[in-house]
Each structure stands twice: as structure tokens, then as C-alpha cells.
A and B are shown apart, each in its own frame.
Chain A
């Protein structure tokens, strides 16, 4: 495999995000695989930001730990990124502006290019220096300029031919700049690839499921779902920016109760506000989907950095007991399928489904092949259409715990959904009736009816077990959600060193099939990999199966974990160094 990590580093407002996206799309359009991630801060201008795009000729699962080509657009970029450069890395920098003394004589290939001058010459616009640099990157990587030209045309077409021409010219000047030579040979497998982040894939999944309603209060890293829905209102999806997250989840409950597939999304702080609403959905059996994209906590934490610190919170959020489903898609592609499946699960089992993402999964971009739209169909669960006799029993006591629901507007099936404990009609058994024998019995029956849905899910669905990629070795990595991709990369790296390691990954955390989970974990030394301090998955595994993991790898500095980092630590564990 040939892989090249390109990092563009500058200040906020320098346009590196669009440059990173241009590069990723130009490479993917060639059929090359990409993985991109952005390091940024909670400021609008200034600061130090970077965008890494790793390009390879086979599927890759992280953005890489080191940089093969650095595009340094300011002095900070050289100073802060020097320690991440790989051996013999290329450094493209503006000859007139930036000092590179600290990089000299260390084997790096320094490429001074008058980026700003060329930008001003070709377009009069300083920001076009990014495109000049991209041209040079296309040359070094050997990707060529044809797909970059296409992408520039598509991206800037709306701004007119002149802007497109200027950008194309700027790219060509960078590509042809004296001294810039091709150093890599990436072979395309000519697959048709798409480039998107996790939130986009999740949004398309929800759209594909027929989700027509999305409510949210802006919060990084969930905001891009709000933006996606807002940008697609012309496709018939309604979006509501609410006064707070409390309103967001309660509106979602109202919409879901009225028969529309509805979702809300937030990060941990906003989810804290949603917790009471989550319990309401559990009690009245409203089928809602909630996205919780985690960031580094507690409290405001590091708003633009990643973590997996909310797992136990989400699994236990709200007073009382009720069935819920907690999903944690493992990569961008799976965000689509889980995003679609979540609505089926919510409606079949009439309970809240929480999709856990995190800043890393929500925001990193990845090349993906076309989604199989038909793989997950649409199942709206049990819906009542005609009254049997007398008043409608919305909360009919059934063996599988699922009672057919009725949609407002349907004649003869009126009922009140109550957050108080209720009987089969939905009438309260909480106020004047509580404590009377008959209603004590009803509480028992109604609570166990709801809770029985968990057993029904486990019986009917095949998703509540971890995936096992076995190996001949003695150790397996264990992880959930977004950490799976870096773990896959680690397995590849270790294999290249002759170490065979297995991978057990969870994309659903609640409910869990006890026997299948025990079977999946048995027989190997377990190395648990989590982006948190308290190894929350390991705690769940212990609770569910009684199994203790053998080793733990934890990271909680806010930066995304990489395959190399996991591989290094796992290698030490396997070799008995630690």
C-alpha cells in the first residue's frame, strides 16, 4: 500500500477546510481512498488550525500520525507541526514569508514557493494561495491536475467562469513550479467513491428512512446535522432550530407522536438538558431518534475536540427504568446504515434510540463506496387502524411488550399518552388511584410490559452483538463506535510487523445479548481501547458478561486516536513490556 499524509496548516479564516475538501475530492474522484480530519479551535479568526488528508491506494481507517507533505501557510504552521513530520517529509511554504531554519539539515525536502505572489498574480485574491499549494501537492503525489480542475469547476462554477479560470491557473502554476517533482506512485482501483463526514452520512441515512423532522439547538459537533437538514428543506425535510435542547427533544416527541419520523441531535451538554424528555419518550412509548455527538468533557470541556466519555451517561440517563436502544456507528459508512435503521428500531419497539457519535466521527471525512439503499428497508412497526371494542387500549398488555399505537387524526382510536403511570387506556393510575390494589397490580403489569420490549428486541434483531474479526494471535483489541477505525488501522500495522491481533467491536451497546457477547469475548486476552479515562465499555462488558478486560488503552487529551498509537501500545502489551 502506498499512503501519503498531507497536512495544510494555517490560521482560522485562511480557508484550509475548503482546501482540504478540494484535495480529498480530487483524490477520491481519481478512485483513491482518503481519510481527512481537521484540528481546530473554538475561535472564528486566528489561532492555529490544520486539515490532514491521507491519500492511499487501498481503504484506510485514520488520517495518520505523521505528515508526509506539509503545506505551511504561516509561521505557526512550521513551528507547531515540525514535530509531526515524517522522515524525508516535503514542506511547501511561502518563500518570502516563512522562516524554516529549524527544519534545515534534517532530511526534510523544503520547497519554497511564492504562494502569495502567484495567487495575487493569477487572481488578485490572496486566499487562492491555497490552490497554488494544492497544485504542487498534486504534482508531488502524482495525482495530476485533471480531477482538481473538475472539482474547482464544480466548486466555483456558481461564482462564474472567470473565478474558475483563475483557480485553475493558480493550481497549474503550483503544479508546474520549478523543483516540484513527483515522489509517490498511487494506484487507483477506479472505484466510484464519495467523500463525506459522519454527520452527512447519518443525515442521509435519516433522510433515506423518511425522517421528515429534525430539531436542534446549535452545538458542536452536532451542528452540521442541523445545517444538513436546513440545506435540504427543499427536499421536504422540516428543520426547527429551537430555543434550547429541552424544546428540541420535546418537539421531536410531539412530532413522533403525530406519526412523523422525527430526530433531534446535540452534544453531551445539550443531551444533559434532554434527559427528562428521554424519559418521557420512554414512558409514553414515543419512537424518537436522538443523536449524541460527544466532545471532550465535562462541562464545556474542549468544544472542538473528541472523546467517548458519555457512554455510561447515555445508557443510564433519566430517572426510572425504560427500554432504550443505544447505537454507536463505527465509521462513516455505518453512520448511514445506523441512521436509517434507528428509525425502524424506534418505531418497531416504540422507544427512544440514541445514536452516539463523537467529534471525530461526526467531522472526519472519508471516502466511501455507494450506499446500498435497499439493505435497510422501512418498517413502521405496529400501527392500529380499527377499534376492537369500546375505548382504544393504546397500552394493551401484550406478550412481546409492544402495543399497537394510533396516530392522531385516526377516528375511534383516541387516547391520552401520559407521563404518569397509566393503565391500558392511558388513564392515570398515579393520583387518586395510586396505592389501590387493582392499580398497584396495573403498575406492575405496565412496567413489565414496557421492559419486556428489551427481550423482544434481543429475540428479533441480530444487531445487538459485537462483531468479531478473529486472528491466530492470543490478543484481541476491544472497542466501540468511532475508535473502531483506528483499531482496524492498528490491526493492519501490527500485521505488517508479524503480529496477528483480533478485533472485537461494538456498534450497539444497549441492549446487549449476554450469551453472544460472552462468546465473542471468550478465549483471547482483551486489550480495551477507549477515548476516555474510565474505560466505560469495559465496565459495560463486566456488567453484561462478568468478563474483565486484561489491558486498557485510554486517551483523553482531545485529539483523535490513531492506528499507530494503538499499535505501539498494543505491541508493548503483547510483547510483555508493560
Chain B
């Protein structure tokens, strides 16, 4: 991998969908020519969360489910940085689902790429929050009886301002989605179907290829939240016969950091400690 590589080899299995995401991220960074010292890639825990290791940018490989709060902290501290969250479906939609909703509604300028393989890979194949109903896994040998989370409709409902879905079988398309997500001012979710070739024998490349279609080729208007929701729910309506990818929803508006009374004056990082006079002034409030 040229460009933004650290030289460290990825731990992904041969054929893993996450290689497609790696290539797409690299292409997006290259196209945008972002200075690598200004990128902070934050991940959680899981196969896909080892992604920051292979990039020669600043990275934080944090805790399972906690990448969004860590990424938010980085962005809040220095809004000049390009902050990219990368993780899996268990990480983001399972253990980290609370943070997912709140980060979406906060609308910080963070790009979040979720490598969604509908399975827990690194723990050797248990059901995930996006496993389809009926999916047989190590933890659901008789079939999963819970309904899967729909990250697209959930993100739109929670207030995310850029909601897209990519597919590891089409990394060039995904790279465009990531690139536009980074350019978008606000919280951008790019959910990516990233097949697990080792543990998920149901949702394979072929399975997706026979079902997906591109929203941009159907004239979808991503500024229409009602239409976006309708497209988002198409997987439920058609019982996964028709699976849209591309940009579902996009809304321009003020980000968190543009609205906050402190942050709109510039990044916190680099600001000096208050002068002695400032401290004394505050002390006087207590007389």
C-alpha cells in the first residue's frame, strides 16, 4: 500500500473485506492530499479495529465500543485535525451503540467507517447486532431470534448529517463515499458491507453482489430525509432482496464545533494557561 502506509502488515485473513476498506481509506486520503500528521484514526477493538496500525498517521487503538468518545475528545481538543473512526459492527452497534446515537446527534465533524460483517470475527464467530434473523453462529446454533439493527435508519433518526453505505467488493465507490464523508462538515457514517470470509458463510461477496444496487444510479435525492428513510428501510421491506448502497442522506448545517461558544474561537490545543490576573479575577467571585 503506497501513500499512507506505516509499513505494518494488516492482520486480516486472506480475502477479508477489510482490505477493501484499507484501500478505500488510502485512496480517499491520497485524493484529498491530507497531511498525514493531521489525520487521527481512532479504532475500538476487533479485527477491523487494527486498521490504524497499518496507516502511518496518528492513531488511537482504544477500547471495545469506545472509539467514538475517544475520537470526539480528539476532535473537541483540536478541530483542525481530520478525525476518522474505524471499527466493526459489534464495536459500534453493539457495545458502543449508546455512543453511536449520541455522537450522531452531536454532529461533530468526524468520519466513522464501520466494517460491518454481521459477525464477531476476532472472538471466532458469535452473533453480532447486525446478524440477520435466523443466522446460525457459534452463539446462536439454532438461529438468531433477534432482529438486526439497521444502522442506516438508526443514524438518520439519531441526527447524523451524512449517512452512506459501501461495499468492500467495490472499493472505488467506497473511496468516494469516504472522501465525501471527510469533506462533509458534520458526523458522517459510512457503513460498509465487509464480508468475513472465515466466520460468516451467509453474507458472502456473492450474496451481497446479487442483492445490492447503487442509489446514485436510481436518482435518489439524498437531501430528502423521508426518501432516505424509505431507502434505508428497503432491506426490511424486501427481506434483504434489494439492498441499496451509496449516499442515503446528507444535510448541510452547523457542526458542534461551529456552534460551541468556546470552540468556535479556535482549537483548544495550543491555548495557554490563564494568566495570574485571570485566576485572581475568578477568585474574586468567591467573596
Given A210-B274, A257-B60, A408-B74, residue A277 in contact with residue B53 (CB < 8 A): no
When the two chains form their complex, are residues A416 and B287 in contact, meaning their CB atoms are under 8 A apart? no
Q: Which of B61, B81, B99, B268 contacts A418 (CB 8 A)?
A: B61
When the two chains form their complex, are residues B63 and A250 in contact, meaning their CB atoms are under 8 A apart? yes
When the two chains form their complex, are residues B50 and A208 in contact, meaning their CB atoms are under 8 A apart? no
Q: Which of A258, A410, A414 contacts B74 (CB 8 A)?
A: A258
When the two chains form their complex, are residues B59 and A251 in contact, meaning their CB atoms are under 8 A apart? no
When the two chains form their complex, are residues B78 and A262 in contact, meaning their CB atoms are under 8 A apart? no
**CB of A522 within 8 Å of the partner chain:** no
Tell me the bound Cα distance from A551 to B57 in angstroms: 58
When the two chains form their complex, are residues A238 and B268 in contact, meaning their CB atoms are under 8 A apart? yes
When the two chains form their complex, are residues A29 and B287 in contact, meaning their CB atoms are under 8 A apart? yes
Tell me the bound Cα distance from A413 to B52 in angstroms: 15
Q: Which of A193, A208, A246, A248 contacts B274 (CB 8 A)?
A: A208
When the two chains form their complex, are residues B59 and A415 in contact, meaning their CB atoms are under 8 A apart? yes
B179 CB to nearest chain A CB (Å):
21
When the two chains form their complex, are residues A260 and B60 in contact, meaning their CB atoms are under 8 A apart? no
When the two chains form their complex, are residues A373 and B77 in contact, meaning their CB atoms are under 8 A apart? no
When the two chains form their complex, are residues B286 and A200 in contact, meaning their CB atoms are under 8 A apart? yes
Tell me the bound Cα distance from A246 to B65 in angstroms: 10
When the two chains form their complex, are residues B78 and A204 in contact, meaning their CB atoms are under 8 A apart? no
Which single residue of chain B is at the shortest CB-CB distance from A197?
Answer: B286
**CB of B62 within 8 Å of the partner chain:** yes
Contact stretch, chosen from A163-171, A427-435, A467-475, A493-501: A427-435
**CB of B185 within 8 Å of the partner chain:** no
Tell me the bound Cα distance from A215 to B66 in angstroms: 15
When the two chains form their complex, are residues B63 and A277 in contact, meaning their CB atoms are under 8 A apart? yes
Chain B residues, Cβ within 8 Å of A209? 273
When the two chains form their complex, are residues B59 and A254 in contact, meaning their CB atoms are under 8 A apart? no
Tell me the bound Cα distance from A236 to B37 in angstroms: 26
**CB of B214 within 8 Å of the partner chain:** no
Please encode chain B, from 56 to 90, with 1 for each CB lying within 8 Å of some chain A CB and 0 for all others: 11111111001001111111111011000000000
Tell me the bound Cα distance from A284 to B73 in angstroms: 15
Residues of B1-42 at the interface with A, using a CB-CB cut-off of 8 Å, are 6-8, 11, 35-38, 40-42
A209 CB to nearest chain B CB (Å):
6
Which single residue of chain A is at the shortest CB-CB distance from B11?
Answer: A431
**CB of A160 within 8 Å of the partner chain:** no
Tell me the bound Cα distance from A28 to B287 in angstroms: 8
Contact stretch, chosen from A34-42, A65-73, A103-111, A227-235: A227-235
Chain A residues, Cβ within 8 Å of B63? 250, 276-277, 280, 419
**CB of A420 within 8 Å of the partner chain:** yes
When the two chains form their complex, are residues B81 and A374 in contact, meaning their CB atoms are under 8 A apart? no
Interface centre among A252, A413, A416, A431 (most CB of B within 10 A): A416
Tell me the bound Cα distance from A258 to B273 in angstroms: 16
Chain A residues, Cβ within 8 Å of B265? 236
B156 CB to nearest chain A CB (Å):
19
When the two chains form their complex, are residues B60 and A247 in contact, meaning their CB atoms are under 8 A apart? no
A87 CB to nearest chain B CB (Å):
34
When the two chains form their complex, are residues B61 and A413 in contact, meaning their CB atoms are under 8 A apart? no
Chain B residues, Cβ within 8 Å of A243? 98-99, 101-102
**CB of A317 within 8 Å of the partner chain:** no
When the two chains form their complex, are residues B70 and A408 in contact, meaning their CB atoms are under 8 A apart? no
Tell me the bound Cα distance from A324 to B8 in angstroms: 31
Q: Which of B102, B261, B279, B286 contacts A233 (CB 8 A)?
A: B261
**CB of A371 within 8 Å of the partner chain:** yes
When the two chains form their complex, are residues A416 and B70 in contact, meaning their CB atoms are under 8 A apart? no
**CB of A212 within 8 Å of the partner chain:** yes
When the two chains form their complex, are residues A411 and B37 in contact, meaning their CB atoms are under 8 A apart? yes
Q: Which of B58, B98, B268, B286 contacts A260 (CB 8 A)?
A: B268
When the two chains form their complex, are residues A420 and B74 in contact, meaning their CB atoms are under 8 A apart? no
**CB of B219 within 8 Å of the partner chain:** no
Tell me the bound Cα distance from A416 to B53 in angstroms: 6
Interface centre among A277, A374, A408 (most CB of B within 10 A): A408
Residues of A368-411 at the interface with B, using a CB-CB cut-off of 8 Å, are 370-371, 373-374, 378, 391, 407-411
**CB of A112 within 8 Å of the partner chain:** no
Chain B residues, Cβ within 8 Å of A417? 59-61
Which single residue of chain A is at the shortest CB-CB distance from B75?
Answer: A254
When the two chains form their complex, are residues A259 and B77 in contact, meaning their CB atoms are under 8 A apart? yes
Residues of A186-242 at the interface with B, using a CB-CB cut-off of 8 Å, are 193-196, 200, 204, 207-210, 212-213, 215, 232-238, 240, 242
Chain B residues, Cβ within 8 Å of A280? 62-63, 66
When the two chains form their complex, are residues B269 and A246 in contact, meaning their CB atoms are under 8 A apart? no
**CB of A23 within 8 Å of the partner chain:** no
When the two chains form their complex, are residues A370 and B283 in contact, meaning their CB atoms are under 8 A apart? yes
Tell me the bound Cα distance from A531 to B117 in angstroms: 52
Residues of B188-211 at the interface with A, using a CB-CB cut-off of 8 Å, are none
When the two chains form their complex, are residues A238 and B263 in contact, meaning their CB atoms are under 8 A apart? yes
Tell me the bound Cα distance from A428 to B45 in angstroms: 12
Chain A residues, Cβ within 8 Å of B77? 212-213, 254-260, 262
Chain A residues, Cβ within 8 Å of B262? 233, 236-238
Which single residue of chain B is at the shortest CB-CB distance from A234?
Answer: B261
Chain A residues, Cβ within 8 Å of B271? 210, 212, 236, 260
Tell me the bound Cα distance from A284 to B45 in angstroms: 14
Residues of B125-149 at the interface with A, using a CB-CB cut-off of 8 Å, are none
Please encode chain A, from 19 to 51, with 1 for each CB lying within 8 Å of some chain B CB and 0 for all others: 000000100110000000000000000000000
Q: Which of A254, A378, A391, A432 contacts B69 (CB 8 A)?
A: A254
Interface centre among B59, B62, B282 (most CB of A within 10 A): B62
Chain A residues, Cβ within 8 Å of B59? 414-418, 426
Tell me the bound Cα distance from A254 to B61 in angstroms: 11
Chain B residues, Cβ within 8 Å of A407? 269
Q: Which of B71, B102, B274, B280 contacts A254 (CB 8 A)?
A: B71
Chain B residues, Cβ within 8 Å of A213? 73, 76-77, 268
Residues of B239-261 at the interface with A, using a CB-CB cut-off of 8 Å, are 260-261
**CB of A412 within 8 Å of the partner chain:** yes
Given A238-B268, A414-B56, residue A194 in contact with residue B76 (CB < 8 A): no
Chain A residues, Cβ within 8 Å of B286? 194-196, 200
Chain B residues, Cβ within 8 Å of A371? 279, 283
**CB of A121 within 8 Å of the partner chain:** no
Tell me the bound Cα distance from A378 to B283 in angstroms: 19
Chain B residues, Cβ within 8 Å of A235? 274, 278, 282
B278 CB to nearest chain A CB (Å):
7
**CB of A161 within 8 Å of the partner chain:** no
A sample of 4 more A-B contacts (CB under 8 A), given A213-B268, A251-B73, is A236-B262, A244-B98, A259-B77, A408-B37
Top 8 closest pairs, chain A to chain B, by CB:
A254-B73, A210-B273, A416-B59, A250-B69, A251-B73, A258-B77, A255-B77, A247-B69
A–B pairs, 10, beta carbons within 8 Å: A194-B287, A210-B271, A212-B271, A236-B274, A240-B76, A254-B69, A255-B73, A260-B77, A411-B37, A415-B59
